[in-house]
Structure 1
């Protein structure tokens, strides 16, 4: 299974993705980590390289029969279709989950508090600030997607629901 968690920064994707990966014993693949490593290694102007690398790592792990949880913004139809192609080529089930935070104040607090954690990716990469997140270009989904709201439910509740409801995972 390829489980792709998508949404703008600060919604809680990474927290939920790590919890789902732990419970499933799945490979956890965070595009921010890939992009940070590329930037910190001296690659300037990262555009598609981070996602392309993540697709290849996901494909390798799916070919081994492992479940993969991908954590990424996944903002446009092209990236969403690319994840779908990875799943198709591997013969894996694709589950798309859009993570939102409907509480604007909480969302902003999360984004602004992440800057203190930027040292985890010391170097050239840092998470976006609130101004960038507030105007993030994120296309509405045109394909089926499970939508979860981290402002309404805890990560534990969301993971429980995603892993136990028949229509979810």
Structure 2
């Protein structure tokens, strides 16, 4: 099974995805981790500008799709966590799943004040990662979904509540 958890920054994707991956015994892929590793590598190389540009144009996603395919081919369930902002990224995850069960999840925070508070008060857990500002989040390109998917609103809920909701949607015991 491939579970792709998407949504705007500061909706709870990392917290929820990590917890569900632990419960499921799944591999956990995080685009921010992959992209930041490439950026750190780029800092050491003379071709660093090209690598940073490649990250901007989706290199981290391409790496994650490939790793997910490898893990799935070995029978490992995978939780992939990313913004997943465009139809092209969503289609690529579907292709990566191949004949494996794919569950697409979108986390939203319907309370703008709570969402902004989360965005402005969270801490960085990846070395050297620059978190987006609230303005970055609000102005980010994010295409509406054009197919059925699981939507979970994290506003006014604890992470544990959302984890339980996602586990129920996946059909696994919480």
TM-score, normalised relative to structure 2: 0.87
Runs of 4 or more, structure 1, over 3 Å off, are 165-169
Call closer, same or farther: CA 1:121–1:158 in 2, change over 3 Å.
Answer: closer
Residue aligned with 1:138, SS: coil
Query: 1:121 is paired with a residue of what secondary structure?
Result: coil
Counterparts in 2 of 1:145 and 1:165: CA distance versus 1, 3 Å: closer
Change (3 A) 1:165 1:94: closer
Task: Report if aligned partners of 2:39, 2:52 keep a CA contact under 8 Å in 1.
Answer: yes
Residues 53-75 of structure 1: CA deviation (Å, up to 9, x unaligned): 01011111101101100000000
Deviations 1:109-128 (CA, angstroms, capped at 9, x unpaired): 111123xx23x3333x3111
Give a deviation string over 1:105-154, Cα, whole Å, max 9, x none.
1111111123xx23x3333x311111100111101100111100111432
Answer yes or no: is 1:8 the counterpart of 2:8.
yes
Contact 2:150 2:169 in 1 (8 A): no
* Structure 2 unaligned residues grouped into runs of 5+: 43-50
Equivalences for 1:120-131 in 2 at 5 Å? 120-123=125-128, 125-131=129-135
How many residues are treated as equivalent by the alignment?
Answer: 163
Whole-angstrom CA distance in 2 between matches of 1:162 and 1:147: 9
Corresponding residue for residue 155 of structure 1:
159
Q: Distance in 2 between matches of 1:132 and 1:163?
A: 30
Shift of the 73–166 alpha-carbon distance from structure 1 to 2, 3 Å rule, reads closer
Q: CA RMSD in A?
A: 1.8
